[in-house]
Every structure is written in structure tokens, then in C-alpha cells.
Structure 1
Amino acid sequence: MILYPAIDLKDGKAVRLLRGDMDKATVFNDDPAAQALEFVAKGCEWLHLVDLNGAFAGQPVNAAAVEAILSQAQTPTQLGGGIRDMATIEMWISKGLTRVILGTVAVENPDLVREAAREFPGKVAVGIDARDGRVATKGWAEVTDVDAVDLAKSYEDAGVAAIIYTDINRDGAMMGPNIPATAALARAMTIPVIASGGVSSLKDLKALRDCGASLNGVISGRALYDGAIDLKDALKLLKT
């Protein structure tokens, strides 16, 4: 399993939110590129970025911070937030981004997701953020009637590289991931699934690793910043 350290960007800074609430942001680093380099120095093989402002605005807002990370970290990187048209997808990939994450448009414009996956093989992931099993969009501000598993299954034949599944109620809350829901989704899919939300300890990582479903990886944020998880220990655990 791959560990994806998360760098959430708000107003040019690396922050973490509590359950997606923009008013409950904790700033962990004023220099996101420096934070990225710190993760890379400890051995991470990927970075997971989210443009939080962009998710609400529907277009890139923290582009300068993302570009600084891409130019300095030189590590495979995936980005979500505010990516809602082909021009933005092309822009990010041309700047060296390894993988774009499409969330809101996965619900509102599935044809775009399919087109992007055909145009950029291996470089398009679908982000499915769910609250009580229902998909939320626009920076988690709007909860739809769309079932998370149904949405994931609708992309089985689209050629997307991964499904990133986030349980919003667990995100940033340090209360453990929703392992049953994540494992159930992974078992229902042939697309690689990445778990996100609530990972707060090495015990959580081990539980995901041993959940019986084939997970591609796991995203962790607050626990790495708070020191609840040592990145080097986590990387070692997930490689065994």
C-alpha cells in the first residue's frame, strides 16, 4: 500500500480542516513547498494535494503553492479541488502533475471524466467524498442523493486510474477510518481504491492494510502533522 501524505491548501498555506469545515482550519505550515520537501525527505513516494479554496470557487486558487511544490519536490503528486474543465486538466498535467482528481464533475459531468481518462491515460482519478454514504460536491458543501458505491461503479469502464474514497465525517477528526465502507467499496471495484479520512494511528494503517480488500493506498494528513503517526514508521509498516 502507498501512503499519500496530504497537503491541503487554503489561502496559500498548508492546513487541515475538521470534517471539511473551512471555518475550522488549523494552519500547520505557512510554506507548503517546505512541507512537501519534509515529507519527501522522510521517504514518501507520493504527495496528495487539495486546493480547498479552489474546490469552493470551481477553479484553481492556490496554483502558486501547487506549482512551487511541483517544482521543488520532484515527487509523483496528485491534486484535487477546482478542476472542472479540460483546459484546467491539461494545464496541470502540462505543469508536471502526475494525476488530477475529479470530484464534483464526476457527479455533474461524467462525460468530462471519461474524455479526460481517454486523453490522459493513468492520470485521472475520481474523488468520491461521502457523508453517510451519499456523495458530497463543491468542497463538500452540497450533499447529493448519489450513492458513493453506485458512482464508483459507473466509472468501471472509463479507464480512470484510481478511486479516492473519503468519509467526510471522519476527515480530520482523528477517530479512525471507516474501514467497513472503504473495504466494501474496494471489493466492489476493479479500479484501485485509495482510502481517506480519519487515519489517526499506525493501528489504523495496519487495519486498512489487513482489511481483506486490496487497497492501493491511504491518505493521511492531521496525524502526520500532529505527530500521532511517524511517517517513516508508517512507510515501513505499509511495505510489509
Structure 2
Amino acid sequence: MIVLPAIDIQNGHAVRLRQGIKEDSTTYFKDPVEAAKKWAGEGAEYLHIVDLDGAFSGSLSNVDSIGRICRAVPIPVEVGGGIRSEKAIKTYLENGVSRVIIGSKAVEDAVFITEMAGLYGHRLAVSVDAKGDVVATRGWVDNSDKAVVPFVKFLLSIGIRTIVYTDISRDGMLSGPNMEMMEKLQSLPDIRLIASGGVSGISDLKALQKLNVYGAITGKALYEGKVTMEEIRKLSQED
């Protein structure tokens, strides 16, 4: 299992939100590049970047910062937040991003995500952000009419393999992942599941590893010392 440190960018800084509420943020690094260097230097295998400004506005607000991160670290970077066009996908790939994560647009436009899956394949992931069993959109502000499991089955059917699942109620709360939903999703054939939201420490990561998920994202727990990169390195060696 790959553990991906999260770097959420808001107003040019590396922050963490509680439950996706943009007004409830804590700044951890003035420059997100410094956060990326720190985690890469301590042994991270992959970084998970979110353009929070883009998630709320639908525009690419932090391309320059994310490009600097890609040039500054020797490990792959995945990016999500406000990516709602093929031009946006290309922009990030051209700036060194390894995997682009589509969120709201995948929920709202089945034709678009089907076409992009055919064009970009493994370079794409879809973020499935849920309030209960309902997929949320637009920076987690709006609810869709889609239930989580049927929506993920649709994504798998069109060739999307990497799914980032977030339980919004647990994000930034250190309350543990939604293991029940993780088990349901992990049972689907051909899925590469990345768990996000609620990781409170190494015990949660060990529980996710037992499920054999592809990856897990940790943000607040890492920034506040609830889990360390040394613990994460040891965990990855047990795979």
C-alpha cells in the first residue's frame, strides 16, 4: 500500500480543512513546495495535491505552485481540484503531474469522463467524495443524485481504475476512515482504491493495509505528528 501525504493548497499556502469547509482551515506551510520537499525527503513515494481554490472556483488557481512541486521532488505527484476540461488535464500533465484526479465533472458529465478515460487511461483517477452514501460535488458543497457504489461501478466499466474515496464527514477530523465503505469498494473487480479522510494514526493505516487497498492519503495526522514518515516507511516495508 502506498501512503500519499496530502498537500492542500489554498491562497498559495499548504493548509488543511475540516470536513471540506473552506473557512475552517489551518496553514501548515507558507510555501507548499517546502511541504513537498519535507515529505519527499522523509521517504514519501507519491504526493497527493489538492488545489482547494480550484475545487471551489472551477478554475486552475495554483498551476504554478504545483508545477514547482513537480520540479522540486523526485517522486510522482497526483493533483485534483477544479479539473473540469481536457485543457486542464493537459495543462497539469504538461507541468509534470503524473496522475490527474477528476471530481465534480466526472459526477456531472458521463460523456466527458468516458471520453477522457479513453484518451488518458491510467493518467486519470476519479475522486468520489461522499456525504453518507451520496456523492458530493463542487468543493463538497453540493450533493448529487448518485450513490457511491453504483457510481464507482460505472467508472470501472469505462476504464477508470484509480478511485480516490473520501468520506467528507471524517476529513480532517482524525476520526478514522469509513472502513465499511472501503470494504465494499475494495471488493469490486479491478479497482485501485485510494482511501482518503479520517486517518488518525498508524493503526488506521494498518487496518487499510489489511484490506489490501492500493493507497491511503494522510493529511492532518501527518502534519500534527499523529503518524510519522518513519512509521509509514516501516509499514510499506511490510507489504
TM-score of Structure 1 vs Structure 2, range by shorter chain: over 0.9
Q: CA RMSD in A?
A: 1.1
Q: Does 1:119 align with 2:119?
A: yes
Match of 1:239 in 2: 237
**Cα displacement (A) at 1:27:** 0.3
Question: How many angstroms apart in 1 are the aligned matches of 2:73 and 2:210?
Answer: 31
Partner in structure 2 of residue 226 of structure 1: 224
Normalising by the residue count of structure 2, what TM-score does the alignment of the two structures yield?
A: 0.96
Which residues in structure 2 correspond to 1:1-240 (within 5 Å)?
Answer: 1-211=1-211, 214-240=212-238
Q: Residue 89 of structure 2 contacts residue 100 of structure 2 at CA under 8 Å; is this kept in 1?
A: yes
- For the Cα contact (< 8 Å) 1:153–1:189, is it kept in 2? no
**One-letter amino acid of the structure 1 residue matched with residue 103 of structure 2:** G
* Partner Cα distance (1:150, 1:106) in 2: 14
Deviation at 1:161, TM superposition (A): 3.7
1:100 offset after TM fit, Å?
A: 0.4
- Paired residues of 1:209 and 1:238 also in contact (CA < 8 A): no
Give the Cα separation in 1 of the matches to 2:183 and 2:46.
22
Deviations along 1:77-122, one digit per CA (max 9) or x if unpaired, are 1000010001111111111110000010111112222222222231
- In 1, the alpha carbon distance for the partners of 2:93 and 2:5 equals 20
For 1:154, what is the secondary structure of its paired residue? helix
Identify which range, 105-114 or 201-210, moves more after superposition. 105-114
Residue deviations 1:139-158 (CA, integer Å, cap 9, x gap): 00101221011110001122
The gaps in structure 1 that reach 5 residues or longer are none
Structure 1 runs (4+) deviating above 4 angstroms are none
Q: Percent identity?
A: 39
Query: 2:32, 2:41 → 1: CA distance?
Result: 14
Displacement of 1:128: 0.1
Q: Distance in 2 between matches of 1:116 and 1:77?
A: 19
**Contact 2:63 2:92 (8 Å CA) reproduced:** no
Task: Name the CA shift for 1:130/1:189 in 2 (closer, same or farther; >3 Å).
Answer: farther
Displacement of 1:239: 3.0
Post-superposition offset of 1:44: 0.8
Q: Secondary structure at the match of 2:170?
A: coil
Aligned length: 238
SS at match of 2:101: strand
Structure 2, gaps ≥5 residues long: none
